[in-house]
Amino acid sequence: MGTSLTIISRKGGVGRTFISVNLAIAIATMGKKVLLIDGNIEQPNVGLAMNIDSSEATIHHYLAGKKELDEVISKYDGIDVIYGDIEFQSLSDIDTGKFNDMIKKLIDEYDVIVIDSPSGSNTIFAPLQSQENALVVVTPNILSVVDGMRAKNISKKLGSKIVGVVVNNTAQKKYLTNENIEFALNSKVLVEIPYEEKVETSLAMGEPLILNYPNTTVAKKIINLAHILIGVADK
Ligand SMILES: Nc1ncnc2c1ncn2[C@@H]1O[C@H](COP(=O)(O)OP(=O)(O)OP(=O)(O)O)[C@@H](O)[C@H]1O
Ligand SMILES: [Mg+2]
């Protein structure tokens, strides 16, 4: 039986999608069978980070009952991916209740399911936040960390285990130390990921940094994170 890992924060733009995509690929390079799911239902953008025009067979089609599960799973460089519909407009067709069933159906087929999640949080996305493990992403400032606390508390209430914290974009002046962050979130900082211009270059090219610039410090940090997490998941 595999494990699921949802990448969470309440604040937008902290790097959840960047980390989800690159971490999923990093875990796959360790010989694990990985599925990446775009769980940012209202603003899906995993496909953009991978230069995939995802509008034909997506999680939205599955949740709306328009496609079967096997029809919405795509292949991408060593991982399977369920993209979101880039043209998605309305939640009215979406049955979010199908999300947990989907994970239950898939969990035995993969070693790790990495789930990108939306910022903010409300009941529509409760199924997402109730998944087995959650990784909190923050940037080193008070607003982000307080939102990280909120995300963590919601996920915990819904039954997730918080496996740790990623402090992203650390080139900004650090207003909080890792000790401050660990105290606030009552969870360990697993890795610090610095600001790296090539993250944006990779996004513009639609090529994940870990494939495009594997020798950067950021790529190495993500590989390191994958090793730590797989150690956690295997225990
Ligand atoms: N370590 C980093 N160095 C430089 N740029 C970064 C880094 N991490 C993320 N970014 C950039 O910051 C922006 C936001 O990242 P991303 O889209 O992954 O965040 P998000 O939390 O998923 O945001 P959203 O709330 O829109 O879903 C992107 O343009 C991304 O390329
Ligand atoms: Mg995102």
Q: How far apart, in whole angstroms, are the C-alpha atoms of residue 160 and residue 126?
A: 11
pLDDT the model gives residue 171: 73
Name the closest ligand to CA 218: 1
pLDDT the model gives residue 235: 43
Q: How far apart, in whole angstroms, are the C-alpha atoms of residue 101 and residue 110?
A: 15
Q: How far apart, in whole angstroms, are the C-alpha atoms of residue 4 and residue 112?
A: 6
Residue whose CB lies within 8 A of the most ligand 1 atoms, among 6, 8, 17, for a mutation test: 17
pLDDT, tens digit only, all 235 positions of the chain: 799 999 999 889 999 999 999 999 999 999 999 999 999 998 999 999 999 987 889 999 999 999 999 999 999 999 999 999 999 888 888 998 899 999 999 999 999 999 999 987 665 577 777 789 999 999 999 999 998 898 888 888 888 999 999 999 987 667 889 999 999 999 999 999 999 999 999 999 999 999 999 999 999 999 999 999 998 655 4
Q: Whose CA is nearest to atom 8 of ligand 1?
A: 15
DSSP codes of every residue in the chain: --EEEEEE-SSTTSSHHHHHHHHHHHHHTTT--EEEEE--SSS--HHHHTT----SS-HHHHHTTSS-GGGG-EEETTEEEE---TT---GGG--TTHHHHHHHHHTTT-SEEEEE--SS--GGGHHHHTSSEEEEEE-SSHHHHHHHHHHHHHHHHTT-EEEEEEEE-TTS--SS-HHHHHHHHTS-EEEEE---HHHHHHHHHT--HHHH-TTSHHHHHHHHHHHHHHHHHH-
Q: Give the CB-side neighbour count of residue 2, counting CA atoms within 13 A.
A: 20
**Ligand 1 center–CA 60 separation, angstroms:** 23
Name the closest ligand to CA 19: 1
Q: Residues lining ligand 1, judged by CB closer than 6 Å?
A: 12-18, 40, 119, 168-169, 193, 195-196, 199-200, 203, 218
Q: Sign of the CA dihedral 153, 46, 80, 200?
A: negative
**Residues found in the chain:** 235
**Ligand 2 center–CA 38 separation, angstroms:** 9
Q: Which residues are 161's β-sheet partners?
A: 133
Q: Which residues are 165's β-sheet partners?
A: 136, 189
Atom from ligand 1 closest to the CA of residue 13: 23
Q: Whose CA is nearest to atom 26 of ligand 1?
A: 13
Q: Whose CA is nearest to atom 25 of ligand 1?
A: 12
Domain that holds residue 66: 3-234
pTM, two decimal places: 0.95
**Ligand 2 center–CA 180 separation, angstroms:** 25
pLDDT the model gives residue 10: 85
**Ligand 2 center–CA 208 separation, angstroms:** 14
**Ligand 1 center–CA 12 separation, angstroms:** 9
Name the closest ligand to CA 14: 1
Q: How far apart, in whole angstroms, are the C-alpha atoms of residue 90 and residue 63?
A: 12
Q: Whose CA is nearest to atom 15 of ligand 1?
A: 15
Domain count, the chain: 1
Q: Report how far Cα 105 is from the mean position of its chain's Cα atoms.
A: 19
Atom from ligand 1 closest to the CA of residue 218: 1
CATH code of residue 79: 3.40.50.300
